[in-house]
Amino acid sequence: MTDDDVDETARTLAERALELPELAHARTVAAYVSVGSEPGTPALLDALRARGARVLLPALLPDNDLDWGEYAGPGSLTRVQRAGKIALLEPSGARLGPDAVTAADVILLPGLAVDARGMRLGRGGGSYDRVLARLERAGARPRLVVLLYDTEVVAHVPAEAHDKPVHAVVTPSGVRRFPST
């Protein structure tokens, strides 16, 4: 895709995501800053903030777990390069701890694909597996939403016993919901 295509897709994706009732009523949203070829999230992050939502962004810890910090606009991000990993934009402010995510009403998850069951294929680092396990231990039940390109919604992805289905996937062409578990 050209840079213009990527920008247009990000705007469309943000519009689709903002139509979700879950995001319209969310007080706290845990999200992420897109990297590489991921569907763009900056416009969505800014729109959520403009609506008054508290937006939490992850900071990768050495063990691949995630700490969280509050997004306060593009100037609140720092580029972080870790050995052998892709550079990430992380919140530059105070760290809130790994458990901060349990306060989220909605969690926007990155992914490579989602299948017809709502199973998400991640990048394999286990960061979000830890987040989902932490939510379960805390009894937190936020809505889980994945942002993808249309071609990344597929018939089947491999899943293991610890994998959890998401509630919805947002693509530029629309929203697909999955049965709650």
What is the tens place of the pLDDT at every residue in 152-180?
A: 999 999 988 888 899 999 999 999 999 86
Domain contains 177: no
The enclosing domain of 65 has a CATH number of 3.40.50.10420
To the question of whether residue 136 is assigned a binding role by annotation, the answer is: no
pLDDT at 145: 97
What is the tens place of the pLDDT at every residue in 68-102?
A: 999 999 999 999 987 777 788 999 999 999 999 99
Domain contains 172: no
CB 122 within 8 A of CB 128: yes
Domain contains 152: yes
Domain count, the chain: 1
Domain contains 174: no
If 0-12 CB within 10 Å is exposed, 13-18 middle and 19+ buried, where does residue 107 land? buried
Domain contains 171: no
Confidence of residue 10 (pLDDT cuts 50, 70, 90): confident
Domain contains 181: no
> How many residues belong to the chain?
181
Mean of pLDDT values over 4-30: 91
Which position has the token pair 């969280």?
68
Instruction: Kindly report the pTM of this predicted structure.
Output: 0.93
To the question of whether residue 126 is assigned a binding role by annotation, the answer is: yes
Comparing 13 with 180, the larger pLDDT belongs to 13
pLDDT at 111: 93
To the question of whether residue 121 is assigned a binding role by annotation, the answer is: yes
To the question of whether residue 122 is assigned a binding role by annotation, the answer is: yes
To the question of whether residue 111 is assigned a binding role by annotation, the answer is: no
* Residue 143 one-letter amino acid: R
What is the tens place of the pLDDT at every residue in 18-34?
A: 999 999 999 999 999 99
Domain contains 104: yes
The yes-or-no verdict on residue 1 having pLDDT over 80 is no
To the question of whether residue 147 is assigned a binding role by annotation, the answer is: no
Handedness of CA 86, 89, 93, 97 (dihedral sign): negative
Instruction: Look up the domain containing 66 and give its range.
Output: 3-166
Domain contains 180: no
Q: Where are the alpha helices (H) located in 2-160, listed in sequence order? A: 3-18, 21-24, 42-50, 127-138
